[in-house]
């Protein structure tokens, strides 16, 4: 069963969830340079600020981390204040950020690499190319307890790394995704938005395709599981689809 909620004129690119106040969704609207905070039922929304092309954001311990594709900065929203994340390196169009405990991962789109902070130091993973461990415009990533998953958009695949930055395996080529704009790694499954094909690819944790969902999707950009529900953003549809 799918429910589609129209988001007015919002063009959603990234979504995050925090448990504060009974549950809040955070949605980045790239076209309109805004980030919105929604109540869990999507009935109330507030603009939390203007940002330069905000993309795949993340939330951790009450802080919302917002990559600005336009300014090459990571902004942090915390209790109505906005600051910048200090990074000892330059970014060129950060498309995504993932936070896991003290760890930070950033998809550095035009540099074709991942910047990863392990809690002590930053390392750079990958370079431009098509081989294993190389990237062609990474758009999204997620850090888990032991791995880093990357939507390697224009190599049309997902790549998986360990936390030393070593390439482990890849999947998604068989499905000819075009392009993998968003990724969400759940406990049992991995969800990848396939932008041009208007579909969501569902894999098991080994990268074997389990399901293809295309109902209600119109240029999807990101996915997220909260509780028993799957949330998928429709960039062109200007909506969010909730699969129950």
Interface with other proteins by CB under 8 A: which residues? 11, 13, 30-31, 53, 69-70, 93, 95, 109-110, 136-137, 139, 153-154, 156, 176, 178-179, 181, 195-196, 219, 221, 235-236
Q: What minimum distance in Å lies between the beta carbon of 22 and other proteins?
A: 31
* Minimum gap (Å) between residue 18 Cβ and other proteins: 24
Nearer to other proteins, 24 or 158 (CB): 158
Residue closer to other proteins by CB (options 24, 114) is: 114
Q: Shortest Cβ distance from residue 135 to other proteins (Å)?
A: 11
Q: Which is nearer to other proteins, 11 or 239 (CB)?
A: 11
Shortest separation between residue 182's beta carbon and other proteins, angstroms: 11
Q: Which is nearer to other proteins, 157 or 163 (CB)?
A: 157
Task: Please state, in angstroms and rounded to a whole number, the distance separating the CA atoms of residues 157 and 177.
Answer: 7
């Amino acid at each position: 069963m799918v429910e589609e909620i129209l988001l007015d004129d919002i063009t959603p690119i990234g979504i995050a969830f925090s448990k504060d106040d009974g549950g809040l969704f955070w949605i980045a609207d790239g076209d309109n340079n805004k980030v919105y905070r929604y109540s869990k039922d999507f009935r109330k929304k507030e603009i939390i600020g203007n940002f330069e092309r905000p993309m795949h954001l993340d939330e951790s311990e009450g802080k919302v981390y917002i990559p600005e594709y336009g300014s090459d900065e990571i902004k942090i929203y915390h209790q109505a204040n906005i600051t910048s994340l200090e990074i000892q390196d330059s970014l060129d169009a950060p498309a995504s950020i993932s936070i896991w405990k003290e760890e930070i991962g950033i998809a550095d789109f035009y540099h074709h690499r991942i910047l990863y902070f392990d809690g002590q130091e930053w390392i750079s993973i990958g370079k431009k190319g098509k081989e294993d461990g190389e990237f062609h415009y990474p758009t999204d990533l997620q850090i888990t307890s032991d791995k880093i998953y990357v939507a390697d958009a224009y190599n049309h695949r997902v790549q998986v790394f360990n936390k030393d930055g070593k390439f482990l395996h890849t999947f998604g080529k068989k499905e000819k995704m075009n392009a993998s704009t968003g990724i969400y790694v759940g406990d049992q499954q991995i969800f990848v938005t396939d932008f041009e094909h208007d579909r969501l690819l569902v894999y098991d944790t080994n990268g074997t395709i389990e399901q293809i969902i295309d109902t209600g999707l119109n240029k999807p950009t990101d996915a997220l599981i909260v509780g028993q529900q799957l949330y998928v953003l429709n960039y062109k549809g200007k909506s969010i689809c909730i699969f129950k």
